[in-house]
Amino acid sequence: MKLMRNDFKEVFNLINNSKKICIAGHKSPDGDCIGSVMALYNFLKAMDKDLTVLLDGEIPFNFKAFVNEEVIAEKYQEEFDLMFILDCSDSKRLGKYEPAMKQANKTVVIDHHKTNEGFGDINIIDAEMSSTGELLYNLLKSSGMTLSKEIAQFIYIAILTDTGKFSYSSTTSKTHIIAADLINLGVNIAEIDNIVYNSKPANVMKAFIDCISSMELYYGNKFSLTSITKDILDKNKVKMGDVDGVAEFLRGINEVEVSCVLKEEDEFTKVSLRSKNKLDVSSISAKFGGGGHAKAAGFEIKDNVENIKKLLLKELKEYFK
């Protein structure tokens, strides 16, 4: 689904005619989600809007230095004139805040997942974008307003993290041009990189090592799999959102073509898939009700780790035979 420039104009028409605006991102927010939500928050705050920010899940430790968590609401009661939904491939990704959509007069979805079929009143969706942050940049720049350093910083964080530090195939020359503009607006890229990627507390690193140590290899070392269990989290006194990047790390093994991390939650297991070569892991995720991108996708399933492992091995058998 491609975006249309007319949609940009309609979005700003809605903004100009709205006072109470909600901004929501997906549950267990990552860098693209957090960066996009906070960039839009600061943009609309400058327009003197009455804002409510909804995020289901804690801000991971490596983004806390950038985010004023006091602006994130725990509850909502009022109706909204307008609701923005960022980086969500479907409404379920809003988690416990999905019902908030019913309290909005109009909804705008801004997203870059190819599995997004458009569930808002207005849908700004472009699967060719590297990140929701890049798409949001284009939207905000179309207003003609100058972006503040703070807005630029959040957009940069969104793009940086969802492109794997500009290394994924979704990164284009336009992505780099946008990054250059953000740097010109005052973004300190060395500081951001250091905080986001080089600030793991010792207990988080120990949990990361525990996950790597329990790695299993299948199909001639082409498929790597590990689990982030409650035992690992409790032992190291960390939260699930703190132990990030395991799937990407496993994908870095020379022979590995697909990596997988099973994340054991209270009521379900979250499955994160990463691909290096030809296999489109979003097609696998879709079979289990999930979605994502060709090289990074995931789904949630109410089953135990061992059963999920069997399901995935069966699903991948045809590909690796």
pLDDT class for 6, splitting at 50, 70, 90?
low
* pLDDT higher than 80, residue 295: yes
* Percent of the chain residues topping a pLDDT of 70: 98
pLDDT at 78: 82
pLDDT at 153: 99
Q: What is the pLDDT of residues 78-96, one digit of tens each?
A: 899 999 999 999 999 999 9
- What distance in Å separates the CA atoms of residue 241 and residue 164, rounded to the nearest whole number? 17
* pLDDT higher than 70, residue 2: no
Q: What is the pLDDT of residues 138-197, one digit of tens each?
A: 999 999 999 999 999 999 999 999 999 999 989 999 999 999 999 999 999 999 999 999
Confidence (pTM): 0.92
Please choose, from the candidates 125, 121, 92, the residue with its C-alpha nearest in 3D space to the C-alpha of residue 24. 92
Decide which of 1 and 11 is more confident: 11
Amino acid of residue 44: L
All structural domains of the chain: 5-196 (3.90.1640.10), 202-320 (3.10.310.30)
Please choose, from the candidates 250, 248, 247, 228, the residue with its C-alpha nearest in 3D space to the C-alpha of residue 239. 228
Mean pLDDT of the chain, nearest integer: 94
pLDDT class for 118, splitting at 50, 70, 90?
very high
* pLDDT higher than 50, residue 1: no
pLDDT at 222: 96
pLDDT at 50: 97
Task: Say which range, 17-26, 92-101, 237-246, has the weakest mean pLDDT.
Answer: 237-246
What distance lies between CA 190 and its chain's CA centroid?
Answer: 22
Q: What is the pLDDT of residues 34-69, one digit of tens each?
A: 999 999 999 999 999 999 999 999 999 999 999 999
Task: Say which range, 33-42, 85-94, 105-114, 285-294, has the weakest mean pLDDT.
Answer: 285-294
Helix/strand/coil for 90? coil
Across 263-279, average pLDDT = 91
Question: How far, in Å, are 67, 243, 288 from residue 261 at the CA level?
Answer: 27, 11, 15
Q: What is the pLDDT of residues 193-252, one digit of tens each?
A: 999 999 999 999 999 999 999 999 999 999 999 999 999 999 999 999 899 889 999 999
Across 252-274, average pLDDT = 94
